[in-house]
Structure 1
Amino acid sequence: MIEVELKFQLPENKKKSVLQALKAKTAEKIRLQAKYYDTPDRLLAQQHVALRLRLEGQEWVQTFKASGKTHLERIECEVKIGKSNAEPEIDLSLFQAYPEVMQRLQAALGDQAKTLCMQFKTDVQRTYRVVEVDGTHIEICLDDGEVSTPERAEKICEVEFELKSGSAETLILFTQEWVKKYKLWLDVRSKAERGNLLATNQKTSPATKAKALVLDKKMSNDMALRLMIGNALAQLLPNAAFIAEGIAAHEHIHQARVAIRRMRSALKTFGRWSSDVDTSWEAALGDLQRELGVSRDQDVLRDEILPKLVESGAPFKSLPKEKYGQLKAYQTFEKPEHVCLLLQLLAFSIHNDKSSKKKNLKKQASDTLDRLLKKIIQDASKFASLKTEQRHRLRKRAKRLRYSIEFVSGLYKSKRVSQYLSQLQSIQEILGDYNDMHMTETYFEALTTEDPTYWFAVGWSRGQQSQLIKDASEQLERFRQQPSFWKTK
């Protein structure tokens, strides 16, 4: 019942090349016409469940689908109906032989099963071929068609790689050559999600935020790190899909940056826990974060800094057009090198290294956090006298400590962790404000040669920095006096 697959969006101008790669003349072809059902208030979609009736060639198939443990997996249950003179209707009793499916449908629908109705359709021409890679059988499919409602339609042009047998890790790594050759970009959204958005006339789902990770203190360090990376990818990949399509809201970009910072924190802090970590990953994630950071800085300048400047009497009311909007964030997740990076991290996250020795995970985590804290304390005691780049280094370390603690927090008593994180988050916020003011100073100072009125913003941001340095020093001193929760019995 577990379907393992990866899906990528395909640029229209690469479709012919992919068909050639699939050897379209001898590849299998089938038309797939599907109807998706839900209640009027989308009870199934709310639980990430899909019900589908699909005509596959001349045979009807009824399918239940639900999200799996990772974005690589989906729960799938198919019941073959066969040929039918009349178009069949959805019939939940066909799943009676599958108790788990019936339980999930009952939990989602309650007494609303009778209100199920067709919400949208898909109609695609599938060209596919099965290949063997190191003993792993992979079905490569090109789906070309559309998803539609009576009011609107949206193009489908995507490539799917489905694991028929063998290693999921091999499947993931195999897709990299296709990404490089055909400019594919990773899309974890299902056709059902796209159809639901179309049916409700929405462009995007809400931005995906981080979910709590609970580690088992008996697991190996290696497995703990892989779960951290998988947890961060679960936050990043849905947001990245909307960004790559060019329809993301600011919150999608923000949450993508948070997910990348969390992954970088895991690799920097706990990277030594696994011998399979590629030392280039952290730097590559840094490049990815910086590309998205330009967009973030522009948003902060426009939405937060500019209104404060105007309120303070600035002699200008807007940002220079030639300086704003230079970055198109969607390009970040279309780049083959970034897509391949995400695939490598995904492969790492699902690999189970059974040879890895189990150690005292809680002690290892405590020792690791302690080393990072000592570096922060050393700079915290002299924050006011630090150079600007040293203050930024402290800010990054404080942020890394926070994310690192969140990853391993389940190993400790929750009340002490929450109290510690609360104070750490306050420090992170004030250091973030300081960083924004320094960014503001740098931005406007570069504009003063074109327009001297921007010196107002430079002076204003410097004044803000002076006050923030004083406030941060006081908070850091209080933080220095606080005992770390991982040292308490």
Structure 2
Amino acid sequence: MSHEIELKLALPQRALPALRRHPLIAGAPKLGNAVTLDNTYYDTPDLALKARKVALRIRRQGRLSLQTVKCAAVSSGGLSQRPEWEQAYAEQFDFSAIDAPEVAKLLNRHRDALVPVFTTRFRRETRRHAPRPGLSILLMIDTGEVIVTTAAGELQRTPICELELELEAGRPQDLVELASTLAQDLPLMPADISKAERGYRLFLGTPLSATRAEASAITPGQNVVDAFRTLALSCVRQWQANAAAALAHADPDSIHPDFIHQLRVSQRRLRALLKFFAPALPPGFVGEWNQRLRENAARFGDARDLDVFCTELLDAVTPEGLADVAAFEALLQTAHEMRDAARSHATHNLDMATQGRLLLGFTAALLQLPTGSLAEAADLRTFARLRLDRLRKRARRQFEAAATLVPTRLHALRIGFKQLRYGIEFFAPLFPAKAVDRYLEGMVRAQTLLGFLQDVDTAQARLAQWVQDRPALAPAAAFVLGWHASRYARLRRRVLHDCEPLLWGKKPW
């Protein structure tokens, strides 16, 4: 068994000439001529191998045939490490060399049921980047397609255009550093989805869906910097998955808003993480990436606010009893036009070169973080308790300031609750699960109340601006605000009562 350490980078077809001209690519010696690789992936009719995250491939290159078995691995920023078994193929499967008992047992059990599921065909150009002793990286430019015949007999294809970096000698972070350097000049996007995964998705017709935040995977035995790195890589996976899925749409206006929303969530969580762990991190790293992530989130404007306005506030209104129905229709039209414009602005600002550069730059900086004596000595649970206590004390001050129920003060309290909730989610594995879950349930309820109040306050300001520009909308704007006024007043009276136990009651850490 060998361990394949690689980093995949997607790029648009139009960028291939620039990639081949780049000094780091052009200066790397070629390893033979470009070759065409035909690959057939096998599985059982009910996809038993896929269910166990095992891929079986037969690759034909001229007269040579190779059998390859790979197991899935966690990938972040395009960087993956996975076990691999490769051997000559003599027209029948041979799993005798696989030294992972569970994998061998799975393959042998299903040997007689294996059938072709999909194929990939691509042309590969290979070079070697070896700038110093001890570092050697294969640079492989792959262009071609994944080909699937569906159950209905239809032929489906999806293109392949990627640069694959494979580590021969050196450290995994050397791949990320090289990719980050290339991304300064080229539109390269880290790609965590393998060719096999793309083939299965095409075979099954699985649509892309927005990726939400992962559950925290830190462990009590980690030092503080390693825990930060684990959590940050989780945020990177959410960021990359949503950016890549959105960029997969040929028409930016057809991108579902959930991709952009979850991308922004990843930026908020990363910035919160930087603040939580700031005492254990280099100040320059925290300051630089807090600013760059804030600017990146700002690229996507207020599309989410207008989505919420339309779906949560306008869609809930039934215009029965409104004398000026025409005004309500005009308001709906205005709101939908503004929402569509905001969505279009957000998706058109989703640029492969920018997102790839940021993703790779952050991942490279993350892997380079030093672990100082303070981080080595600090107990992670103690560190977490101190940081969570600090967040709760700040939320208490915000709570006291919000006693006047001024909207801006309530909004500040909402932000404080969100920061505290993120912190508890990040550190959850360190504390009793049931207590954490109960506390988070209360946090979510409080945030929902504060969120509704903020949505109505934001809507009031937005509607006032629209009415100023189009006075004919005034009756409909007043009707919408009046529709929600009773609930707004009721929740506004009780919101502090519901928040108070979370800030002065028993804590789970």
Band the TM-score falls in, shorter-chain normalisation: 0.7 to 0.9
Shift of 1:111: 5.0
Counterpart for residue 433 of structure 1: 452
Residue 294 (structure 1) aligned with residue 302 (structure 2): yes
Q: Is there any run of 5+ residues in structure 1 with no aligned partner, and where?
A: none
Q: Are the counterparts in 1 of residues 218 and 231 from structure 2 also a CA contact under 8 Å?
A: no
Deviation, structure 1 residue 454: 5.1
Higher deviation after alignment, 453-462 or 226-235: 453-462
Q: Is residue 2:269 matched to residue 1:262? A: yes
Contact 2:186 2:353 in 1 (8 A): no
The answer to whether the 8 A contact 1:269-1:404 is kept is: yes
2:127 to 129, 134, 137: 129
Does the 8 Å contact 1:213/1:410 carry over to 2? yes
Q: Give a deviation string over 1:146-198, Cα, whole Å, max 9, x none.
A: 11123121221112222221122222122123223222222221111211121
2:502 to 459, 473, 479: 479
SS in 2 for 1:160: strand
Match of 1:152 in 2: 156
1:37 Cα deviation from its structure 2 partner: 1.6
Do structure 1's residue 403 and structure 2's residue 418 form an aligned pair? Answer: no
Counterpart secondary structure, 1:123: strand
Q: Deviations over 1:327-365 (max 9, x none)?
A: 345555535343222223323444574554221221121
Give the number of equivalent residue pairs. Answer: 476
Distance 2:396 2:62 in 1: 67
What is the letter of the counterpart of residue 420 of structure 2? Answer: L
Residue type at the aligned position of 2:135:
T
Q: CA RMSD in A?
A: 2.9
Instruction: Answer yes or no: is the 8 Å Cα contact 1:9–1:186 preserved in 2.
Output: yes
1:202 matched to 2:206? The reply is yes
TM-score by length of 2: 0.84
Q: Does structure 1 residue 172 correspond to structure 2 residue 173?
A: no
Match of 1:319 among 330, 333, 339: 333
The 8 Å contact of residues 39 and 120 in structure 2, kept in 1 or not, is answered as yes
Native 8 Å contact 1:186 1:339 kept in 2: yes
Structure 1 distance, partners of 2:67, 2:98, is 13
Partner SS for 2:277: helix
Alpha-carbon distance in structure 2 between the residues aligned to 1:162 and 1:138 = 6
- Cα distance in 1 for partners of 2:238, 2:470 equals 42
Partner of 1:346: 363
Listed as ranges, the matches of 1:354-433 within 5 Å are 355-356=372-373, 357-385=376-404, 387-433=406-452
Tell me if structure 1 keeps the 8 A contact 2:247–2:352: no
* CA displacement, residues 293-340 of structure 1 (integer Å, 9 cap, x when unaligned): 633234323333321134676733433354232234555553534322
Amino acid of the structure 1 residue aligned with 2:87: K
Matched AA of 1:116: L
Whether the aligned pair in 1 keeps the contact of 2:401 and 2:409 (CA below 8 Å) is: no
Q: Partners of 1:312 and 1:374 in 2: how far apart?
A: 47
Tell whether the 8 Å contact from 2:446 to 2:498 is kept in structure 1 after alignment.
yes
Three-state SS of the structure 2 residue aligned to 1:31 is strand
What is aligned with 2:5? 4
1:398 positional shift: 1.0
CA distance in 2 between partners of 1:333 and 1:52 (Å):
35
- Measured at CA, do residues 358 and 25 of structure 1 come closer, stay the same or move farther in structure 2, by a change above 3 Å? closer
Instruction: Assess if the C-alpha contact under 8 Å between 1:229 and 1:266 holds in 2.
Output: yes
Contact 1:184 1:334 in 2 (8 A): no
